[in-house]
């Protein structure tokens, strides 16, 4: 492997690595605006200039591959400093500098570089170029454009050309008056449209749903996995206090590179919904608030007394919840358990090798259920499963399958006692005898098995709403209430260790290794300039 | 003088465009010049501008569909080049060279005269739709400055008198 | 000197194939076809022919960069996107002697083993594109082009491809992008076109005048060609003279005549009652030269020694009636209009320089303006940009600032402060209809 010295630090990097990535390995941050590790290299912004020993002119780091013995100076070269100052002055000549009212502030590459390396003076005294009518323009269902802020890096255009393959964005006109637009001003209906705002280094493209809801520096990011389909895109839950504000892509070259589809991304909002905040028990036709202690004690007795027990699980549940449910309801109580699954709209995602991954599964963990040896059923078989009476029916996620909201299903469930775990309003509340509040994905912890077979861990970002508890914990409490000591596994990590020990499909996996490699978000990662 | 007038098809008629057989044939022939379909974009756009007088959004969509590109890509290309009309042009587009050699050899006076005579500025057209005035950059005929290109034809070594004579004749042709 | 590139000028019907054949046309191609391609390259190398498009790179050397063992197709592109202000020589060749160009293209294509050649001609040249189309049709009908060039077994197709109004497409990688049907954004180099060019294949881009030199190199020999001019600066050259001279036009002269000869002898000097003030030796992108540099030789090396460049050989002559600040502003408008907008220094710098110069011309100059202009020019050139358009606008403007400081001082001394811009206060018009963004 070639060895290269950058600002005095020698590193060995794989052949073909460009100087930006090599410098990152050497602990040197070379600033950039137009470069993106998953897009083609265009060398447009010119801020990544470095001095290569022996070369008469400065070179752009993004388009310079390392060669063995190369000696590179970035921050230590006065020539580089001067050139970058000049490029910044050019970039800021027409930039509105409206950071106080710009929603990108705090996660803006231009602002960051200006703050850390820039100068506070300019030679520019002319009237700034503006794009009247383009300051606050909705260019698609999710994207608002402010062309005045654009620094012409073309990342958004390259994203639509190279990644989402719609080529829906283009430059129009040329020179300093070029601007970003769709064909004839038609809406940007690209299914990955919000990624154009992700790749935008400045506030020229912002996401409408997130705009002005929270300053970027107030957010904390927690690694998680997209619940939208079975591809298993890695994401960050960006949250503040108890509220989830958005999903942003978490880098994973094998799955989603640094992208998210609009469908998955905008599920973020739904994690904040919570109508069921307390355990409820139906007494004389009325649902009454009870304490968790009362509920678990009473349900342990009901479960113990039930001769016929049937359980409906779902592909939305974590491996840990599914495992505990299987062990308690099937192995210990000899009940019947099915996993309700159904097809959603087709989803796709492109990984860092440019391959499309596809899914028709509406749930993130059907594959996990399959690998735990559970029976997967569609709507029709679910109906047959629920036909007739049982001493107790347990519905672990009523929202997971549309059949469970039908009048027919409710009629079937009305005839015998039903326990349902619920977070949001659902018709099952009309018939359930017990309703236990369950936490959202954002407050849960565990693993999903993506359709490719990869087990990925998600971490809890926020506290559950009200008295809600994560699904695995509810099953765990029931097991403990019934005195099943073998299931006294008090954390998802402990549950996963048990899965790895007992299920061949999970053998050899360790909780610790499932979190994914990237511990800093791509955004943070590119903010170091 | 043989300068042909531009007949711009009105926008309403170009909302959706289907190429006629002869256009199709010409496109098919152009495609044989290149190993990729995209490379035929400029020639096909020229062909369309010749047929329709300008490049309407509907034309862009038809060209994009024919060549397998996105309409946004094609529009990006159209707007990069200055010679594609993105709105219906007048019958005669007066493209006056403003660059150095023409400017110092009487081009500036020519521009003033044209603006006064036609009563319009750069980028505007006369109310009757006969003339449109455009300031252009170097036309590559500096030795015979000042130069005006009218539609496809060059008029060189112009003076205010010779240019007036040309405009008189073109205006007359409109009436005929 | 006997005309070589312009020998057909004034000959009746000179653009027709019969006229061309009668004058010994296509003999150079016949000679080339009898040689190995590498021998043709050798001949051109020996002639020391340098590219006439502006950079002056040795033509034979450029050809040798094409990988010899590349399996797939290769391409030759004739750059007829003549857009450099002050340059109008290619049009002269195409109008009077299209077959000379076609023969040159065929020779070059054969030397690099290309079976397809494109002539990228600027969009405004409608009439000249038609002349070329007609010449190609004639040549194809007579078996000079097509699957069997002159019965040799070597096949060549030439296609005319019209640009559509973009100066930047004269830059070879931008031309290639444009030919591929895209916006004319120059490419990053390396890779150079000779390795990865149009459609990803090895490509040589040569200027019209360069290619037109080839037939005579083949028929008369490299030594003859090299005997014109001086070593490294050989051959006949077309000088395009425009501006304030009595007889502007294209002159074919041996490389290395002085600018005094060109301007005073051939063009009859500047207008009566005026004196020469400055001239651009090679198109407007070359640093300006002053009247006292008139004895510099008009060849590549001499112009470089004098701190300028021969470029395309477009000599723009300015007499003492010209205000150099206005001339700089005029050129700044050109470059700001033609900057493709891809990379930062050129996109922002060209607009910024134009605004400053416009402000000075409008009578609102500031004392620091010349320094600011030099700073812009410095950081928009010297490899700060993807393509040479950065240098193209920086060099003439910075050279005018440096060589005519007194003119800037005069403007600035008489300047008044720019009146403050009055911002209108708009009445409240109610919520904006149709906008539902947050």
Q: What is the per-residue pLDDT across A382-401, written as a single tens digit (0 to 9) for each?
A: 999 999 889 999 999 999 99
**Which of A131, A159, A172 is the best residue to mutate to test the B interface, defined by the most B CB atoms within 10 Å of its own CB?**
A172
Report the gap between the CA of A186 and the closest CA in chain B (Å): 9
Residue C423, pLDDT score:
73
Query: What are A359's strand-pairing partners?
Result: A347
The contacts of residue B165 (CB under 8 Å, 6+ apart) are none
Report whether pLDDT(C436) > 50: no
Q: What is the DSSP letter of C133?
A: H
- As a whole number of angstroms, the distance between CA B128 and CA A189 comes to 41
Percent over 70 (pLDDT), chain A: 97
Task: Determine whether the interchain pair C437/A208 forms a contact, defined as Cβ–Cβ distance below 8 Å.
Answer: yes
The contacts of residue A345 (CB under 8 Å, 6+ apart) are A263
Give this complex's ipTM: 0.96
| Residue B82 contacts C where some CB pair is shorter than 8 Å | yes
C428 burial level (CB within 10 Å; 0-12, 13-18, 19+)? exposed
Report whether pLDDT(C435) > 80: no
Nearest to A167 among B60, B61, B72 (CB): B72
Percent over 70 (pLDDT), chain C: 97
Mean pLDDT of C137-162: 95
**Which of C82, C168, C242 is the best residue to mutate to test the B interface, defined by the most B CB atoms within 10 Å of its own CB?**
C242
pLDDT band at C1 (very low <50, low <70, confident <90, very high): confident
Task: Determine whether the interchain pair C162/B43 forms a contact, defined as Cβ–Cβ distance below 8 Å.
Answer: yes
The mean of the pLDDT values for chain A is: 93
Q: What is the DSSP string of C174-197?
A: HHHHHHTTS--PPPPSSSPTTTS-
Question: What values do phi and psi take at A277, rounded to 5?
Answer: -115, -10
* Lowest model confidence (mean pLDDT) among A158-162, B61-65, C304-308, C419-423: C419-423
Chain B CB contacts of C87 under 8 Å are 140, 142
Residue C430, pLDDT score:
63
Residue A517, pLDDT score:
59
The three-class DSSP label of residue C141 is helix
Gyration radius of chain A's alpha carbons: 27
Chain C CB contacts of B46 under 8 Å are 123, 162, 164
Report whether pLDDT(A522) > 70: no
Residue A327, pLDDT score:
96
The mean of the pLDDT values for chain C is: 94
- As a whole number of angstroms, the distance between CA C58 and CA C50 comes to 4
Q: Scanning the structure block, which residue is given the tokens 């007949």?
A: B7
Report whether pLDDT(A67) > 60: yes
Report whether pLDDT(A89) > 50: yes
Q: What is the pTM of this model?
A: 0.94
Nearest to C341 among A93, A125, A175 (CB): A175
- As a whole number of angstroms, the distance between CA A416 and CA A428 comes to 13
Nearest to C162 among B36, B42, B76 (CB): B42
| Residue B168 contacts C where some CB pair is shorter than 8 Å | no
Beta strand spans in A95-188 (E): 137-138, 143-145, 170-172, 179-181
Report the gap between the CA of C191 and the closest CA in chain A (Å): 11
Q: Which of C141, C139, C127 is nearest to C16 (CA)?
A: C139
Given a contact cutoff of 8 angstroms between Cβ atoms, the answer to whether A97 and A151 are in contact is no
Residue B122, pLDDT score:
94
Render pLDDT for B15-68 as a digit per residue (tens, 0 to 9): 999 999 999 999 999 999 999 999 999 999 999 999 999 999 999 999 999 999
Mean pLDDT of C202-213: 97
| Residue B141 contacts C where some CB pair is shorter than 8 Å | yes
Render pLDDT for A21-56 as a digit per residue (tens, 0 to 9): 999 899 898 999 999 999 999 999 999 999 999 999
| Closest residue in chain A to residue C357, using alpha carbons only | A126
Report whether pLDDT(C175) > 50: yes
- As a whole number of angstroms, the distance between CA C80 and CA B40 comes to 18
Report the gap between the CA of A161 and the closest CA in chain B (Å): 9
> Across chain B, how many H-helices and E-strands are there?
7, 4
pLDDT band at A515 (very low <50, low <70, confident <90, very high): confident
pLDDT band at A201 (very low <50, low <70, confident <90, very high): very high
Q: Which of A385, A389, A435, A428 is nearest to A410 (CA)?
A: A428
Mean pLDDT of A154-165: 96
Query: What are B132's strand-pairing partners?
Result: B93, B125
Which of residues B117 and A515 earns the better pLDDT score? B117
Nearest to B101 among C123, C178, C316 (CB): C316
Given a contact cutoff of 8 angstroms between Cβ atoms, the answer to whether A388 and A310 are in contact is no
**Which of B11, B17, B72, B81 is the best residue to mutate to test the A interface, defined by the most A CB atoms within 10 Å of its own CB?**
B72
Task: Determine whether the interchain pair C199/B39 forms a contact, defined as Cβ–Cβ distance below 8 Å.
Answer: yes
Report the gap between the CA of B57 and the closest CA in chain A (Å): 7
Render pLDDT for A446-465 as a digit per residue (tens, 0 to 9): 999 999 999 999 999 999 99
Percent over 90 (pLDDT), chain B: 94
Nearest to A170 among B57, B61, B73 (CB): B73
The three-class DSSP label of residue A335 is coil
The DSSP bridge pattern shows strands C75-80 and C203-207 to be parallel
Q: Which of the other chains make 3 or more beta carbon contacts under 8 angstroms with chain C?
A: A, B
The contacts of residue A346 (CB under 8 Å, 6+ apart) are A358, A359, A360
Render pLDDT for A327-362 as a digit per residue (tens, 0 to 9): 999 999 999 999 999 999 999 999 999 999 999 999
Given a contact cutoff of 8 angstroms between Cβ atoms, the answer to whether A467 and A292 are in contact is yes
Task: Determine whether the interchain pair C88/B142 forms a contact, defined as Cβ–Cβ distance below 8 Å.
Answer: yes
Report whether pLDDT(A519) > 60: no
Chain A CB contacts of B73 under 8 Å are 161, 167, 170
Q: Which of the other chains make 3 or more beta carbon contacts under 8 angstroms with chain B?
A: A, C
Report whether pLDDT(A529) > 50: no
Q: Which of C158, C150, C206, C147 is nearest to C33 (CA)?
A: C150
Chain A CB contacts of C359 under 8 Å are 126
> Across chain C, how many H-helices and E-strands are there?
17, 11
Size of interface B-C (CB pairs under 8 A): 145
The number of angstroms, rounded, from the C-alpha of C238 to the middle of its chain's C-alpha atoms is 12
pLDDT band at C431 (very low <50, low <70, confident <90, very high): low
**Which of A167, A173, A175 is the best residue to mutate to test the B interface, defined by the most B CB atoms within 10 Å of its own CB?**
A167
């Amino acid at each position: 492997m070639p060895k290269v010295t950058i600002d005095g630090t020698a590193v060995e990097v794989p052949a073909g690595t460009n100087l930006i990535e090599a410098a990152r390995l050497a602990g040197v941050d070379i600033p950039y605006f137009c470069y993106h590790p998953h897009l083609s290299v265009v060398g447009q912004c010119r801020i990544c200039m470095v001095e290569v020993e022996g070369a008469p002119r400065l070179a752009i780091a993004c388009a310079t591959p390392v060669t063995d013995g190369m000696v590179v100076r970035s921050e230590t070269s006065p020539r580089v400093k001067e050139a970058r100052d000049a490029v910044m002055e050019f970039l800021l000549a027409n930039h509105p500098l409206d950071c106080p009212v710009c929603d990108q502030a705090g996660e803006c590459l231009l602002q960051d570089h200006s703050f850390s390396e820039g100068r506070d003076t300019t030679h520019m005294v002319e009237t700034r170029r503006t794009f009247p009518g383009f300051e606050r323009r909705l260019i698609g269902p999710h994207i608002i454009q402010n062309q005045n802020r654009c620094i012409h890096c073309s990342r958004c255009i390259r994203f639509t050309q190279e990644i989402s393959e719609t080529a829906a964005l283009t430059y129009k006109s040329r020179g300093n008056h070029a601007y970003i637009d769709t064909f004839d001003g038609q809406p940007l209906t690209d299914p990955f449209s919000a990624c154009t705002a992700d790749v935008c280094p400045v506030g020229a493209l912002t996401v409408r749903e997130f705009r002005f809801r929270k300053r970027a520096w107030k957010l904390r990011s927690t690694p998680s996995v997209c619940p939208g389909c079975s591809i298993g895109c890695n994401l960050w839950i960006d949250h503040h206090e108890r509220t989830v504000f958005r999903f942003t892509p978490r880098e994973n070259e094998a799955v989603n590179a640094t992208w998210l589809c609009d469908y998955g991304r905008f599920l973020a909002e739904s994690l904040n919904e919570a109508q069921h905040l307390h355990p409820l028990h139906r007494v004389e036709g009325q649902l009454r608030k009870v304490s968790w202690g009362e509920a678990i004690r009473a349900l342990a007795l009901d479960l113990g007394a039930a001769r016929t027990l049937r359980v409906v699980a779902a592909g939305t549940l974590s491996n840990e919840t599914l495992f505990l449910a299987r062990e308690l309801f099937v192995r210990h109580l000899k009940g019947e358990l099915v996993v309700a699954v159904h097809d959603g709209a087709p989803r796709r995602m492109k990984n860092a090798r440019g391959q499309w991954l596809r899914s028709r599964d509406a749930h993130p963990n059907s594959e996990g259920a399959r690998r735990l040896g559970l029976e997967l059923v569609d709507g029709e078989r679910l109906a047959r499963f629920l036909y007739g009476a049982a001493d107790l029916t347990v519905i672990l996620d009523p929202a997971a399958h549309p059949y469970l909201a039908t009048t027919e299903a409710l009629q079937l469930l009305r005839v015998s006692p039903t326990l349902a775990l619920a977070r949001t309003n659902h018709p099952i509340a009309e018939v359930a005898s017990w309703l236990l509040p369950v936490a959202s994905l954002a407050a849960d912890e565990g693993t999903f098995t993506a359709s490719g077979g990869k087990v990925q861990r998600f971490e809890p970002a926020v506290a559950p709403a009200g008295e809600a508890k994560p699904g695995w914990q509810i099953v765990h409490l029931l097991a403990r209430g019934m005195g099943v000591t073998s299931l006294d596994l008090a954390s998802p990590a402990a549950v996963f260790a048990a899965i790895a020990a007992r299920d061949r499909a999970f053998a050899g996996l360790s909780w610790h290794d499932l979190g994914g490699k990237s511990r800093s978000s791509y955004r943070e990662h590119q903010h170091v300039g | 003088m043989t300068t042909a007038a531009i007949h711009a098809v009105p926008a309403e008629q170009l909302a959706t465009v289907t190429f006629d057989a002869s256009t199709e044939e010409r496109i098919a022939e152009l495609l044989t010049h290149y190993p990729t379909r995209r490379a035929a974009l400029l020639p096909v756009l020229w062909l369309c501008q010749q047929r329709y007088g300008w490049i309407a959004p509907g034309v862009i969509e038809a060209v994009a569909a024919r060549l397998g590109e996105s309409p946004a890509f094609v529009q990006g290309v159209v707007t990069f080049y200055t010679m594609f009309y993105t709105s219906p042009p007048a019958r005669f587009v007066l493209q006056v060279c403003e660059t150095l050699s023409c400017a110092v050899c009487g081009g500036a006076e020519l521009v003033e005269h044209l603006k006064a005579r036609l009563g319009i500025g750069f980028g505007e057209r006369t109310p009757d739709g006969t003339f449109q005035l455009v300031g252009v950059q170097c036309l590559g005929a500096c030795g015979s400055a000042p130069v005006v290109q009218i539609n496809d034809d060059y008029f060189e070594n112009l003076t205010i008198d010779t240019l007036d004579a040309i405009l008189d004749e073109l205006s007359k042709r409109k009436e005929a | 000197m006997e005309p070589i590139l312009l020998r057909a000028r004034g000959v009746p019907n000179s653009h027709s194939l019969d006229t061309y054949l009668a004058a010994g046309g296509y003999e150079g191609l016949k000679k080339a076809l009898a040689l190995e391609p590498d021998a043709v390259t050798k001949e051109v190398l020996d002639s020391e022919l340098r590219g006439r498009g502006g950079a002056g790179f040795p033509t034979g050397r450029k050809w040798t960069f094409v990988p010899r063992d590349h399996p797939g197709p290769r391409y030759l592109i004739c750059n007829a996107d003549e857009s450099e202000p002050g340059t109008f020589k290619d049009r002269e060749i195409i109008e009077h002697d299209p077959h000379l160009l076609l023969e040159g293209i065929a020779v070059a294509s054969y030397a690099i083993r290309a079976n397809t050649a494109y002539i990228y001609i600027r969009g405004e040249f409608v009439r000249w594109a038609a002349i070329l189309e007609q010449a190609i049709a004639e040549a194809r009908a007579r078996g000079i082009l097509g699957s069997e060039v002159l019965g040799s077994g070597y096949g060549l197709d030439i296609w005319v491809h019209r640009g559509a109004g973009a100066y930047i497409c004269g830059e070879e990688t931008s031309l290639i992008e444009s030919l591929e049907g895209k916006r004319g954004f120059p490419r990053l180099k390396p890779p150079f076109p000779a390795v990865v060019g149009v459609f990803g294949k090895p490509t040589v881009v040569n200027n019209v005048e360069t290619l037109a030199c080839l037939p005579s190199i083949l028929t008369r020999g490299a030594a003859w060609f090299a005997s014109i001019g001086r070593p490294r600066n050989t051959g006949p050259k077309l000088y395009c003279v425009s501006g304030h001279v009595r007889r502007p036009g294209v002159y074919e002269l041996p490389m290395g005549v002085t600018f005094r000869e060109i301007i005073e002898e051939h063009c009859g000097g500047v207008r009566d009652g005026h004196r020469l003030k400055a001239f651009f030796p090679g198109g407007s992108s070359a640093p300006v030269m002053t009247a006292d540099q008139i004895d510099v030789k008009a060849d590549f090396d001499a112009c470089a020694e004098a701190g300028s460049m021969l470029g395309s050989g477009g000599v723009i002559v300015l007499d003492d009636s010209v205000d150099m600040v206005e001339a700089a502003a005029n050129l700044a408008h050109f470059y700001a209009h033609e900057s493709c907008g891809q990379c930062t220094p050129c996109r922002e710098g060209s607009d910024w320089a134009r605004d400053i110069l416009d402000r000075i011309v409008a009578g609102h100059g500031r004392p620091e303006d010349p320094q600011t202009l030099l700073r812009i020019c410095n950081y928009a050139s010297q490899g700060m940009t993807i393509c040479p358009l950065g240098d193209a606008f920086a060099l003439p403007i910075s050279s005018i600032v440096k060589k005519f400081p007194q003119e800037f001082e005069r403007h600035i001394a008489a300047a008044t402060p720019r009146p403050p811009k009055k911002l209108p206060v708009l009445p409240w018009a109610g919520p904006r209809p149709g906008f539902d963004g947050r």
